[in-house]
Amino acid sequence: AEVWLGVGGYNVPATPSVMYGPAGPANGCVTCHAASGYGAQSGGHSFNMRNTAGVPNMTPCLPCHTGATNFDIDGVQTAVKAQMATLQQALITKGLLAADGTTEIAGKFPSAQAGALFNYEIVKTDGSNGVHNAVYIKALLAAGIAALQ
């Protein structure tokens, strides 16, 4: 929820998603995640955005993104994945993440470095690669990268 609301990150101003508020879906998360999909495989009560074959349920996206065939609309997910890889490598280099890129290293770190890890974890846990709030996610990652330079 913090990504959609655009709050909680380290050193990044609050930036609600364009899909939040009056311009966004009337029913919040369920507008997209419970949209008609592929029977019990996606949408509806499954809350899944892909069916068991990995095909994205684009039904809730098409009213605003006519013709979209995947969630990488305007290359947002590609850009976010690249930023995530850059931040992950910087966190490994600074010793906040193990070489596997997933295990956090316990220790005392400067607040800016700890904040970079916090922002990384927010984006990783969200898992949307920018779909839930592209502007905020990119800002979290950029702030994290800048903090480690």
Position 146 scores a pLDDT of 97
Tokens of 70: 């995947």
pLDDT in tens, 32-61: 766 676 655 665 666 677 777 888 888 888
Amino acid at 25: P
Using N-to-C axis directions, what is the helix angle for 134-147 and 111-126, rounded to 10°? 150
* Least confident among 41-45, 71-75, 81-85, 86-90: 41-45
Q: Position 127: which residue type? A: G
Please name the residues in contact with 28: beta carbons below 8 A apart, sequence gap of 6 or more.
Answer: 4
Q: Give the orientation angle of helix 111-126 with respect to helix 76-93, to 10 degrees.
A: 140
Q: Taking the C-alpha atoms of 93, 95, 100 and 102 in order, what is their torsion angle to the nearest 10 degrees?
A: -120
Give dist(CA 63, CA 103) in Å, integer. Answer: 40
- Rg over alpha carbons for the chain, rounded to the nearest Å, is 17
**pTM greater than 0.95:** no
